[in-house]
Chain A
Amino acid sequence: MAQTIDKLEQIHIGKKGAAPIAAPGWAGKPADRVTLVDCDVHHNFHDPHQLLPYLPKFYQEHLLDQGLHLPGAGYANTPFRRTRPDIKDPALQERDFNFSLEFTQKELLDRWNIDFALLTGPPVFLAVAGLPDPDWAAALVTAFNDWTIEHWLDRDPRVVNAILVAPNDPALAVKEIQRLAHRKDTVAVMMPMQTPDLFGKRRYHPIWEACAEHDLPVVSHIGGGSPGSTPTPVGFPSYYMENRMTRPSVASAQAASLIVEGVFEKFPNFKVALIEVQQMWAAPLMWHMDADWKAIGDQTPWLKRLPSEYFREHIRIGSQPMHEPPQTEQVYQMLEMLHADETLIFCSDFPHFDWNDPVTVLPKLDERMHRRIFAENALDLLRISDDMIEAVVA
C-alpha cells in the first residue's frame, strides 16, 4: 500500500537561516555580536521610470526621451536571462532581480541570518561611468541614491549603503559624497571599477579626499567602462567567459595605481575594497611590487613602505566569486598568501546566478579566520557605528 504526501509549494533549504551556527568552523553565538556582513547585495529598480520622482524636471524629460542611455559593450552578469531561478517573485511573473526590500529580507537577510547587507546596486547601472554627459551621470546617481534611501534604507537597520558616485566629473562625485555623508546608513562609497582613467590619477584624488574626510571607504565593483574603455589593453573579448577573466587584471591595475601614485601616503585613513574580481591576483601583485620596490623604488620615492604593506592596510578583496582549486588544502594556502585575515571580506553577490552562500563558500576555518572574513574585516572597513551594531544584534 503506497502512502501519499501532500504537495507543498515552499522549498526549504537550510535551517533557520544558514546561520553562522551551522557555518563551517563557527563557534560564536549569533545573538551577542555581528557574525555575518555581506558586502555585495545587488538591489535594483524594476523600471527606470521609478527614478523619475527623484530627478529634476529637465532630467525627467531626458529620461523620458532617451531612457537611461547607458553606454557600454560589456556583458550583463546574468546569463540565461535571469538571476537565481530558485528565487523568482511570483507576483512579478519573471525572474526577480532584487526589486524590493521585502524580497531581500525573505531570501537573504532572514534566511541566512545576515546582520548587515551592503547595497551595491544593479551592475549595469555602473555604466554611468562612461556617460559622455557628466551632469546627466550625476543626476542619475543622485536619483538612484535618493530612491535607495526611501525604498530600502529607511526601512531596515540591517541594510546599509555604498552611495553611488559617477566618476565622470570628480567635482560632482565629491558633491554627492558631501550631500549624503551625514547619513548614518552611508557606510561606503561605490565607485565603478572600470573608470575612464586609473584610480591613482590625481583627477580622482578629490574623491578619495572626501571619502577620507568622512571616514568612508570606497567599495568598487567590477563594471562601468565606456565605449572607448576596453576591459583589456588589447580590446574587447568576444565571449562572456573571456570577459569574466579580464576582471582580475582590472582590479590589479587599479590596486597598483592607487599604491604607486601614493594615494595612501596622501590619505592615510583611506581604504578601498575591490569586489567581484576574484582574489588570487592580489598575492603575486604584492610579491612583484615588493621586489620592484627594492630594485626601482628610487623612481617612486614617495612610497615609504613596502607596497604590500599599503595593500594589507588599505585594500580589501571581495570573496566572490571564490576560487575553487582542485585541492581543499590549496584554499588554506591561498588564504594565507592573501593575508585573508586582514584583506578578505565576505560578498554573496545576491541574487546573481554565480552567488556564494556563506556556508559553502569556504571550507572549515578556525574561529578567528572565520570571524575576520565573515564579519570583522567588513566592520573595520565600513563606517558602521556601535549603535548601528546594537540595533541589529539586540
Chain B
Amino acid sequence: MKRIVVGKVAEIPVGGRKIIVPFRGRAGIGIFNVNGSFYALRNICPHKRGPLCTGEVAGRSSTTAPPSLTDGFVGYEREGEIIRCPWHAWQFDIASGECLVDPDLRVKTYPIIIDGDDIIVDVDVSDFVAKG
C-alpha cells in the first residue's frame, strides 16, 4: 500500500469535494466531505464512463405510496450523501460507492485516513500514476 496526501482537511468543508487528477489514470478521484466524514471515489461512472465525481451532491426524494388525498407525502432524505452522475443522472451512495438505481453496479472507493490536518488516501502502489 502507498499513502498519498491529497489535501488538507480545511480545504474540503462539509458538502464539498476536491477532484484530484491524474490519479490512478487520467480520470482521477474525488474526495468528498459528507457530514464530517471523508470518502474517495474513482472519477469514472461504471454505467457509461462519465466523470462521476463532477456530478451534483444531493439527496433523494422518498415516499411510501403514490400521491393521494390521505397518503403519499413526498419527502426528501439523505441530503448530501448521494452523488448523481453528470451523464444520465444515476445516483451513487458516496460512502459505499453503491449505485442506488442498479444493484449490480458500484464505483470503486479508496480508504481515507485523516492524520492531523492531512487527508491521506491509501492506494496500491500500482494505482499511483505520477504527475507529468
CB distance from A352 to the nearest CB of B (A): 10
CB distance from A348 to the nearest CB of B (A): 11
Instruction: List the A residue with the shortest CB-CB distance to B53.
Output: A11
Question: Which parts of B1-50 form the interface with A (CB within 8 Å)?
Answer: 2-7, 18-23, 26-28, 43, 48-50
Report whether A5 and B20 are in contact in the complex, using a CB–CB cutoff of 8 Å. yes
Separation of A194 and B6 alpha carbons in the complex (Å): 52
Question: Which parts of A211-258 form the interface with B (CB within 8 Å)?
Answer: none
Q: Count how many chain B residues have C-beta atoms less than 8 Å from C-beta atoms of the other chain.
A: 34
Question: Within 8 Å CB of A8, what residues of B?
Answer: 20-22, 28, 131
Question: Within 8 Å CB of B89, what residues of A?
Answer: 79-80, 353-354
Report whether A84 and B87 are in contact in the complex, using a CB–CB cutoff of 8 Å. yes
Report whether B4 and A5 are in contact in the complex, using a CB–CB cutoff of 8 Å. yes
Question: Which parts of A315-364 form the interface with B (CB within 8 Å)?
Answer: 353-357, 359-360
Report whether A360 and B48 are in contact in the complex, using a CB–CB cutoff of 8 Å. yes
Report whether A353 and B23 are in contact in the complex, using a CB–CB cutoff of 8 Å. no
Q: Does A86 count as interface, using CB distance less than 8 angstroms?
A: yes
CB distance from B50 to the nearest CB of A (A): 7
Q: Does A391 count as interface, using CB distance less than 8 angstroms?
A: no
Question: Which parts of A64-105 form the interface with B (CB within 8 Å)?
Answer: 79-80, 82, 84-87
Question: Within 8 Å CB of A85, what residues of B?
Answer: 54-56, 84, 86
Report whether A11 and B3 are in contact in the complex, using a CB–CB cutoff of 8 Å. no
Q: Does B51 count as interface, using CB distance less than 8 angstroms?
A: yes
Q: Does A3 count as interface, using CB distance less than 8 angstroms?
A: yes
Report whether B4 and A11 are in contact in the complex, using a CB–CB cutoff of 8 Å. no
Instruction: List the A residue with the shortest CB-CB distance to B20.
Output: A5
Separation of A4 and B87 alpha carbons in the complex (Å): 30
Separation of A331 and B2 alpha carbons in the complex (Å): 42
Q: Annotate B95-108 by CB proximity to A: 1 below 8 A, 0 otherwise.
A: 00000000000000
Report whether A3 and B2 are in contact in the complex, using a CB–CB cutoff of 8 Å. yes
Report whether B4 and A12 are in contact in the complex, using a CB–CB cutoff of 8 Å. no
Q: Does A394 count as interface, using CB distance less than 8 angstroms?
A: no
CB distance from A140 to the nearest CB of B (A): 31
Q: Does A295 count as interface, using CB distance less than 8 angstroms?
A: no
**Given A3-B5, A13-B27, are A353 and B118 also a contact pair (CB < 8 Å)?**
no
Question: Within 8 Å CB of A357, what residues of B?
Answer: 48-50, 87
Instruction: List the A residue with the shortest CB-CB distance to B56.
Output: A85
Q: A7-B20, A10-B21, A357-B48 are in contact. List 7 more A-B contacts (CB 8 A).
A: A3-B4, A4-B6, A5-B6, A7-B18, A11-B54, A85-B55, A86-B54
- Contacts from A to B (Cβ < 8 Å): 2-8, 10-15, 79-80, 82, 84-87, 353-357, 359-360
Task: List 9 A-B pairs, minimum CB-CB distance, nearest first.
Answer: A86-B54, A86-B86, A85-B86, A2-B5, A12-B26, A360-B48, A2-B3, A4-B5, A84-B86
- Contacts from B to A (Cβ < 8 Å): 2-7, 18-23, 26-28, 43, 48-51, 54-56, 58, 84, 86-89, 115, 118, 120, 128, 131
- 17 A-B residue pairs with Cβ-Cβ distance under 8 Å, sorted by A, are A2-B4, A3-B4, A5-B23, A5-B131, A8-B22, A11-B27, A13-B49, A14-B26, A82-B56, A85-B55, A85-B84, A86-B50, A86-B55, A354-B89, A355-B87, A356-B48, A360-B48
